[in-house]
Structure 1
């Protein structure tokens, strides 16, 4: 089993479900800022879930498969930290959770850098 592809697929499934939940079930229940946090979280969640799948599939084809796999896990971690913190902020209005958000962004930057590095021949 390709754990990264599986993880990315689950993150994608969750992203679609969470996005729909926010658009329908939460409509009218949160203020402008909460909606903005939710939309930002979904906007970044879904493409990074796909990037996790791509990293998992690409690992076998790239010169440095270990770097590609590490990239996928950093990208997945970024979804959890970045989007997860924004979802929680939107639901709880606990602004201190915003301190976690940049950690997710940093994980994404590391993931993308590792994925780029995985394409370079040793």
Structure 2
């Protein structure tokens, strides 16, 4: 693994967060309830937080340290599980799909993100 992979992942998450945030603010405002739109925005916000986290990680750390690798994997998988499950849950009605099985996935993703940040802290000690 190299810093470039971490930076690429962070950049990809950042771009997607901006695109999805704009999509939510404009296109989804007309089709989602206020509650669902707020939930969608939480997914975008945490995706961007972790995009910035990954960029900082990639630019400022030694990727050969085991805990830095763990921080990358945990934050990346956590972001995918957390944010993308929220997106699908919020869009279930307009897509006419039942994504309720993803309900337990969201907190697991959140826990993985927390563990990713924790791994960075441990790596820095």
CA contact (8 A) 2:43 2:86 kept: yes
TM-score (norm 2): 0.86
Task: Specify the alignment match of 2:96 in structure 1.
Answer: none
Give the secondary structure class of the aligned counterpart of 1:27: helix
- TM-score, normalising length: structure 1: 0.88
**Structure 1 runs not aligned, ≥5 long:** none
For residues 62-114 of structure 1, what are the alpha-carbon distances to aligned partners after superposition, in whole Å with 9 as ceiling and x for unaligned?
Answer: 8x722112202211111101111100001114333221101111111110110
Stretches of structure 2 lacking an aligned partner (at least 5 in a row): 94-98
Partners of 1:100 and 1:33 in 2: how far apart? 19
How many residues align? The count is 118
Note if 1:105 corresponds to 2:110: yes
- Runs of 4+ that moved beyond 4 A: none
Name the Cα RMSD after superposition: 1.7
1:75 paired residue number? 75
Partner secondary structure for residue 5 of structure 1: helix
